[in-house]
Amino acid sequence: MILHYPNGKPYKPTEQKKERKQQSLTYSNRGMTLEEDINVTNQYYLDNEIAVIHKKPTPIQIVNVDYPRRSAAVIKEAYFKQSSTTDYNGIYNGKYIDFEAKETKNNTSFPLQNFHEHQITHMKNVKNQGGICFVILSAFSSYYLLEAEHLFTFWNRQASGGRKSITKNEIDDFAHIIPTSYQARIDYLKIIDKLYF
Protein backbone atom coordinates (compact mmCIF):
# COMPACT_ATOMS: atom_id res chain seq x y z
CA MET A 1 0.00 0.00 0.00
CA ILE A 2 1.25 3.49 -0.86
CA LEU A 3 0.43 6.31 1.60
CA HIS A 4 0.83 10.00 0.82
CA TYR A 5 1.20 13.07 3.04
CA PRO A 6 -1.38 15.90 2.64
CA ASN A 7 1.08 17.69 0.32
CA GLY A 8 1.05 14.69 -2.06
CA LYS A 9 4.53 13.36 -1.26
CA PRO A 10 4.64 9.59 -0.77
CA TYR A 11 5.22 8.33 2.78
CA LYS A 12 8.26 6.06 2.98
CA PRO A 13 9.10 4.53 6.36
CA THR A 14 12.80 4.79 7.16
CA GLU A 15 14.90 1.72 7.68
CA GLN A 16 15.34 2.77 11.32
CA LYS A 17 11.57 2.61 11.89
CA LYS A 18 11.38 -0.82 10.25
CA GLU A 19 14.21 -2.09 12.45
CA ARG A 20 12.58 -0.65 15.57
CA LYS A 21 9.38 -2.60 14.89
CA GLN A 22 11.33 -5.84 14.58
CA GLN A 23 13.27 -5.46 17.84
CA SER A 24 11.96 -5.64 21.37
CA LEU A 25 13.02 -2.82 23.67
CA THR A 26 13.94 -4.45 26.97
CA TYR A 27 13.00 -7.37 29.15
CA SER A 28 10.78 -5.06 31.21
CA ASN A 29 8.68 -4.44 28.10
CA ARG A 30 8.00 -8.14 27.69
CA GLY A 31 8.79 -7.72 23.99
CA MET A 32 6.03 -5.16 23.51
CA THR A 33 6.22 -1.68 22.10
CA LEU A 34 5.47 1.49 24.03
CA GLU A 35 2.22 1.93 22.13
CA GLU A 36 1.03 -1.59 22.91
CA ASP A 37 1.82 -1.13 26.61
CA ILE A 38 -0.11 2.15 26.70
CA ASN A 39 -3.06 0.56 24.89
CA VAL A 40 -3.16 -2.29 27.45
CA THR A 41 -2.98 0.28 30.26
CA ASN A 42 -5.79 2.34 28.75
CA GLN A 43 -7.94 -0.78 28.38
CA TYR A 44 -7.35 -1.53 32.08
CA TYR A 45 -8.40 2.04 32.96
CA LEU A 46 -11.54 1.67 30.83
CA ASP A 47 -12.47 -1.80 32.14
CA ASN A 48 -12.14 -0.59 35.73
CA GLU A 49 -13.99 2.71 35.09
CA ILE A 50 -10.91 4.76 35.99
CA ALA A 51 -10.59 6.78 32.77
CA VAL A 52 -11.64 6.83 29.11
CA ILE A 53 -8.52 7.37 27.02
CA HIS A 54 -8.05 6.12 23.45
CA LYS A 55 -5.47 6.19 20.70
CA LYS A 56 -6.44 8.65 17.99
CA PRO A 57 -6.81 7.09 14.55
CA THR A 58 -4.72 8.61 11.76
CA PRO A 59 -7.17 9.89 9.14
CA ILE A 60 -6.45 8.62 5.65
CA GLN A 61 -8.14 9.08 2.27
CA ILE A 62 -8.32 5.80 0.35
CA VAL A 63 -7.55 6.29 -3.34
CA ASN A 64 -7.12 2.80 -4.79
CA VAL A 65 -8.53 -0.51 -3.58
CA ASP A 66 -8.03 -3.93 -5.15
CA TYR A 67 -11.10 -6.18 -4.85
CA PRO A 68 -9.97 -9.71 -5.81
CA ARG A 69 -13.09 -10.78 -3.88
CA ARG A 70 -15.33 -8.94 -1.45
CA SER A 71 -13.87 -10.59 1.66
CA ALA A 72 -10.30 -9.79 0.64
CA ALA A 73 -10.25 -6.09 -0.30
CA VAL A 74 -6.72 -4.63 -0.25
CA ILE A 75 -5.93 -0.91 -0.01
CA LYS A 76 -3.31 -0.19 -2.68
CA GLU A 77 -2.95 3.57 -2.33
CA ALA A 78 -4.00 6.12 0.30
CA TYR A 79 -3.16 9.64 1.47
CA PHE A 80 -2.82 11.07 4.97
CA LYS A 81 -5.74 13.54 5.08
CA GLN A 82 -3.99 15.85 7.53
CA SER A 83 -1.04 15.98 9.86
CA SER A 84 -1.66 14.03 13.03
CA THR A 85 -1.73 15.87 16.34
CA THR A 86 -0.93 13.71 19.39
CA ASP A 87 -1.34 9.97 19.92
CA TYR A 88 -3.90 9.78 22.74
CA ASN A 89 -6.77 11.73 24.26
CA GLY A 90 -9.66 11.23 26.63
CA ILE A 91 -11.07 12.17 30.01
CA TYR A 92 -9.95 11.43 33.56
CA ASN A 93 -11.47 12.74 36.77
CA GLY A 94 -13.46 15.33 34.80
CA LYS A 95 -10.40 16.72 32.99
CA TYR A 96 -9.46 16.44 29.32
CA ILE A 97 -6.18 14.56 28.81
CA ASP A 98 -4.06 14.70 25.66
CA PHE A 99 -0.62 13.17 25.23
CA GLU A 100 2.04 11.97 22.84
CA ALA A 101 4.15 8.82 23.25
CA LYS A 102 7.75 8.73 22.01
CA GLU A 103 10.68 6.38 22.41
CA THR A 104 14.42 6.42 21.77
CA LYS A 105 17.32 4.03 22.00
CA ASN A 106 19.77 6.91 22.50
CA ASN A 107 21.65 6.41 25.77
CA THR A 108 22.48 10.03 26.60
CA SER A 109 19.62 12.24 25.39
CA PHE A 110 16.16 12.38 23.85
CA PRO A 111 16.22 13.91 20.32
CA LEU A 112 13.67 16.69 19.77
CA GLN A 113 13.43 15.67 16.11
CA ASN A 114 10.97 13.02 17.37
CA PHE A 115 8.43 15.87 17.70
CA HIS A 116 6.88 18.02 14.99
CA GLU A 117 5.88 21.67 15.04
CA HIS A 118 2.17 20.91 14.54
CA GLN A 119 2.25 18.57 17.58
CA ILE A 120 3.80 21.29 19.76
CA THR A 121 1.18 23.79 18.51
CA HIS A 122 -1.61 21.31 19.31
CA MET A 123 -0.26 20.70 22.82
CA LYS A 124 -0.03 24.46 23.46
CA ASN A 125 -3.67 24.82 22.36
CA VAL A 126 -4.73 22.04 24.74
CA LYS A 127 -2.86 23.70 27.64
CA ASN A 128 -4.41 27.09 26.80
CA GLN A 129 -7.87 25.52 27.11
CA GLY A 130 -7.08 24.05 30.54
CA GLY A 131 -6.45 20.47 29.42
CA ILE A 132 -3.80 18.20 30.89
CA CYS A 133 -1.10 17.68 28.30
CA PHE A 134 2.13 15.70 28.53
CA VAL A 135 4.49 13.28 26.80
CA ILE A 136 5.25 9.71 27.77
CA LEU A 137 8.89 8.95 26.96
CA SER A 138 10.43 5.52 26.73
CA ALA A 139 14.13 6.14 27.27
CA PHE A 140 17.10 4.90 29.29
CA SER A 141 15.27 1.64 30.18
CA SER A 142 12.46 3.54 31.92
CA TYR A 143 9.16 5.25 31.20
CA TYR A 144 8.83 8.97 31.97
CA LEU A 145 6.01 11.49 32.03
CA LEU A 146 7.19 14.94 30.91
CA GLU A 147 4.71 17.77 31.34
CA ALA A 148 4.08 19.75 28.15
CA GLU A 149 5.33 23.04 29.61
CA HIS A 150 8.79 21.51 30.11
CA LEU A 151 8.76 20.15 26.56
CA PHE A 152 7.90 23.68 25.33
CA THR A 153 10.98 25.04 27.14
CA PHE A 154 13.28 22.53 25.42
CA TRP A 155 11.54 23.10 22.07
CA ASN A 156 11.99 26.88 22.36
CA ARG A 157 15.65 26.41 23.28
CA GLN A 158 16.15 24.41 20.09
CA ALA A 159 14.28 27.03 18.03
CA SER A 160 16.67 29.67 19.41
CA GLY A 161 19.69 27.75 18.14
CA GLY A 162 20.32 25.71 21.30
CA ARG A 163 20.48 21.97 21.94
CA LYS A 164 18.45 19.74 19.65
CA SER A 165 17.80 17.21 22.38
CA ILE A 166 16.81 16.82 26.01
CA THR A 167 19.71 15.47 28.06
CA LYS A 168 19.31 12.49 30.36
CA ASN A 169 20.05 14.79 33.33
CA GLU A 170 17.27 17.16 32.23
CA ILE A 171 14.84 14.25 31.96
CA ASP A 172 15.88 13.11 35.44
CA ASP A 173 15.30 16.67 36.74
CA PHE A 174 12.01 17.54 34.99
CA ALA A 175 10.26 14.27 34.12
CA HIS A 176 8.61 11.77 36.44
CA ILE A 177 9.37 8.04 36.33
CA ILE A 178 6.14 6.15 35.64
CA PRO A 179 5.57 3.05 37.75
CA THR A 180 4.94 -0.20 35.90
CA SER A 181 2.73 -3.06 37.01
CA TYR A 182 1.12 -6.19 35.67
CA GLN A 183 -2.30 -4.80 34.73
CA ALA A 184 -1.71 -1.08 34.31
CA ARG A 185 1.62 -1.66 32.58
CA ILE A 186 2.49 2.03 32.34
CA ASP A 187 0.44 3.52 35.17
CA TYR A 188 0.78 7.15 34.12
CA LEU A 189 -2.38 8.24 35.95
CA LYS A 190 -0.51 7.79 39.26
CA ILE A 191 1.73 10.67 38.15
CA ILE A 192 -1.26 12.72 36.94
CA ASP A 193 -2.88 12.27 40.37
CA LYS A 194 0.23 13.66 42.09
CA LEU A 195 0.57 16.60 39.71
CA TYR A 196 -3.06 17.69 39.23
CA PHE A 197 -5.29 16.09 41.86
Whether residue 170 is annotated as binding a ligand: the answer is: no
- Does 40 fall in a domain? yes
How many domains is the chain built from? 1
49 belongs to a structural domain:
yes
Q: Is the pLDDT of residue 109 over 80?
A: yes
Q: What is the CATH number of the domain that holds 98?
A: 3.40.1350.10
- The model's pTM is 0.75
Residue 87 in marked binding region: yes
Q: Is residue 114 part of a domain?
A: yes
**Per the domain annotation, does 159 fall within a domain?**
yes
**108 annotated to bind ligand:** no
Q: Which domain holds residue 111?
A: 30-57+83-196
58-70 confidence digits (pLDDT tens): 767 777 888 877 7
User: Is residue 23 a known part of a binding site?
Assistant: no
What residue ranges in the chain does DSSP mark as E strands? 2-4, 10-11, 52-55, 60-66, 74-80, 88-92, 95-103, 109-111, 132-139, 142-147, 165-167, 176-177
